[in-house]
Amino acid sequence: MVAVAPTDRIGHSFANPGLLEQALTHRSAGAPHNERLEFLGDSLVNLIVAEALYARWPRADEGALTRARAELVRESALAPIARELELGARLTLGPGEMKSGGHRRDSILADALEAVVAAIYLDSGFEACRARVLPWFEPAMDALPPPHKVGKDAKTRLQEWLQGRQKPLPVYALLAESGEDHAKTFRVSCSVAQPPMLTEGEAGSRRAAEQLAAEAALRELDPDG
């Protein structure tokens, strides 16, 4: 049986410990596994996050709210929460998944987190579920950029800033490429015509370097944006 001490990282004392046991059982370990709970938990996480964003951002439009929710509930956002809750060490996996390190895999951890959310809901109802789960997402919510910037990378935001003022679009150029094939570094410039400006970015890929150069241009053009 899964340990269900109220002092564990999940922080919920289960009236029905079997729900938590199922939530932490991957399908590779046989039935009953957590896929049905994951299905329910996905909807619950979306609702809890959407409700919180709706309250936090009373003036944000649907597009901004949708992008913010997508940022918060994607696999790469859920997996770190699962790690904070130390779910990986408590997963029941089949031999193959155990051997391949399934307890560290983002997809398995994210699915387990959603399943745990569903288990809490089925055990104690929605209010208790929301009260327990929402704090897991609040640090990421606090770190979100302003609504109009959520989900948009620096190049997109720079393009929109210039287009909105009917100015020419930026031009990116590769200035230098160095390093071995497995560890290359790219230095890229971003040239803005109006007002005239040249910024640079350096990163391990040309695309990432372009983003850094665009971010630098935005900081000069719109420091309060």
Q: Please state the residue numbers annotated as binding site.
A: 38, 111, 114
Residue positions in the annotated binding site for Mg(2+)? 38, 111, 114
List the beta bridge partners of residue 152. none
CA atoms within 13 A on the CB side of 38: 17
Q: Residue count of the chain, please give it.
A: 225
215: Cβ–Cβ under 8 A, 6 or more apart, which residues? 154, 201
Token pair, residue 33, equals 């596994």
Catalytic residues: 42, 114
